[in-house]
Amino acid sequence: MQDRLESLASKAREEIGRAQDASGLEALRVRYLGKKGELSAVLGGMGKLAPDERRRVGEIANRVKAEVEGLLGEAQRRIARAALEAELQAPPIDVTLPGRMRRPGRRHVVSRTMEEITRTFQRLGFDVVQSPEVELDLYNFESLNFPADHPARDMQDTFYVHGDYLQHDPGAIVLRTHTSPGQIRTMLARKPPIRVVVPGKVYRADSDATHTPMFHQIEGLLVDRKVTMAELKGTLDAFVRAYFGADRRTRFRPSFFPFTEPSGELDVSCGACAGQGCRLCKQTGWLEILGCGMVHQNVFQAVGYPEGSVTGFAFGMGIERVAMLRYGLDDLRSLFENDVRLLEQF
Ligand code: PHE
């Protein structure tokens, strides 16, 4: 048994001396000193020895165990030193190299334009309200005085979430084609006087250089007693001067919308050519930015306001159009291609 202990010690000396890394060393520790290790295996036979003999072997076993522990500790320090040395020998890290910059992002030009326009109307005293993008046909069309078969509906063909538009299903649910249902929801929720803007996304089945299936609008609605077209024109004039600059001129042209009477469209003098005519304004000197008009009495009726009790005006502005005019873009689709080289210019 003594021989076995001695040979165990010499084998341990050799193997531990050769250990190269921490995990190899740990494996050796388990192999020699572990509960099921070699030392335990040898000592398992101690019970059969005579008392004298047992004491003598016990002393040797303790010495061997202490030696192996010492060897393991020494090897551990040796390995740690070697690791540190290797780290110091490795090519140094150049702490003066520039780091990888995270460039700060920015808000999309459409979001910014929408915010700027909204803020301008807030300064004019308008509240900002939100209205759903998924909307009842009832609010998107019916309540806004679009008769069931009216061709004005075709100009705003849209995406059907539920129900069949062609069957004029009154329960149909659509992606709103304009922010005007925000007028209906506001009037159903509030009593006059009302002065709100409703910014947000709208959807139409339409796609070319000047139309995308999703775009943004901001709706305006003002309802009170004896509101006239003078207030409509004055408000929109004030907006144009505040937003585009004091030198811009405005022009109102007659138009048609089922939910306003009379209806108009507002042109702003072209900023690129100061009204002289250029590519952006198609040589006309004017750029159209919104539809507007005096709220139709049928709309007031649809929301239950007593006939003749109030008048009001409304307008709906295309955010992308305003952004294009402001920044001189000539293809609306470029706003949604997510090309950072374009977007970071604003
Ligand atoms: N909703 C109309 C459109 O999208 C614009 C509009 C709004 C016209 C309010 C008049 C009054 O074309």
The DSSP 8-state label assigned to residue 335 in this structure reads G
The predicted-structure confidence for 150-188, as pLDDT tens digits, reads as follows 776 766 777 777 776 566 666 788 899 999 999 999 999
Provide the pLDDT for residue 205: 84
Mean pLDDT of the region 58-64:
86
Residue 308 has pLDDT above 80, yes or no: yes
Ligand 1: nearest atom to the Cα of 221: 9
- Could you give the strand order of the β-sheet that contains 160-162, starting from the edge strand earlier in sequence? 134-136, 173-175, 160-162
The predicted-structure confidence for 180-238, as pLDDT tens digits, reads as follows 999 999 999 999 999 999 999 999 987 776 678 899 999 999 999 999 999 999 999 99
The class level of CATH for 109-343 reads alpha beta
The predicted-structure confidence for 126-146, as pLDDT tens digits, reads as follows 999 999 999 998 999 999 998
How many whole angstroms separate alpha carbon 68 and alpha carbon 270?
A: 92
Mean pLDDT of the region 311-327:
91
- Residue ranges of alpha helices (H) inside the chain are 2-18, 22-33, 38-43, 51-89, 109-123, 137-140, 181-189, 229-244, 297-302, 319-327, 340-343
Of 121, 141, 180, the residue with max ligand 1 atoms within 8 A of its CB, to mutate for a pocket test, comes to 180
| Cis peptide leading into residue 199 (ω within 30°) | no
How many whole angstroms separate alpha carbon 178 and alpha carbon 200?
A: 9
Cα 273 to the center of its chain, rounded Å:
36
- Count other Cβ atoms within 10 Å, centred on residue 235: 21
Question: Which protein residue has the closest C-alpha to ligand 1 atom 4?
Answer: 178
Phi, psi torsion values for 302, nearest 5 degrees: -65, -30
Closest CA to 201 of 306, 299, 318, 291: 318
> In sequence order, which residues have a C-beta less than 8 Å from that of residue 133 and are 6 or more positions away?
175, 176, 200, 201, 202, 203
Ligand 1: nearest atom to the Cα of 202: 4
Question: Which protein residue has the closest C-alpha to ligand 1 atom 9?
Answer: 315
Mean pLDDT of the region 238-252:
92
Q: How many CA atoms lie within 13 A of 239 on its CB side?
A: 27
Residue 341 Cα to ligand 1 middle (Å): 33
Mean pLDDT of the region 303-315:
95
Provide the pLDDT for residue 287: 87
Give the whole-number percent of the chain exceeding pLDDT 70.
Answer: 96
Residue 342 has pLDDT above 90, yes or no: no
Beta strands 194-203 and 127-128: pairing type? Answer: parallel
Contact in structure between 224 and 193 (CB atoms under 8 Å)? yes
- Residue ranges of alpha helices (H) inside 90-166 are 109-123, 137-140
Ligand 1: nearest atom to the Cα of 177: 4
Mean pLDDT of the chain: 88
Residue 55 Cα to ligand 1 middle (Å): 105
How many whole angstroms separate alpha carbon 183 and alpha carbon 181?
A: 5
Closest CA to 248 of 286, 292, 291, 293: 286
How many whole angstroms separate alpha carbon 182 and alpha carbon 132?
A: 8
Of 141, 156, 178, 298, the residue with max ligand 1 atoms within 8 A of its CB, to mutate for a pocket test, comes to 178
Tokens of 138: 């009832």
Contact in structure between 18 and 68 (CB atoms under 8 Å)? no
Ligand 1: nearest atom to the Cα of 155: 12
Question: Which protein residue has the closest C-alpha to ligand 1 atom 10?
Answer: 292
Residue 293 Cα to ligand 1 middle (Å): 8
List, in sequence order, every beta strand (DSSP E) within 98-249: 127-128, 134-136, 160-162, 173-175, 194-203, 214-224
Residue 306 pLDDT level (bands cut at 50, 70, 90)? very high
The predicted-structure confidence for 64-122, as pLDDT tens digits, reads as follows 888 888 888 898 888 889 889 888 888 888 888 888 888 888 889 999 999 999 999 99
Tokens of 285: 């000197």
Phi, psi torsion values for 313, nearest 5 degrees: -125, 160
- Count other Cβ atoms within 10 Å, centred on residue 309: 10
Of 252, 259, 299, 322, the residue with max ligand 1 atoms within 8 A of its CB, to mutate for a pocket test, comes to 259
Domain positions in the chain are 2-88, 109-343
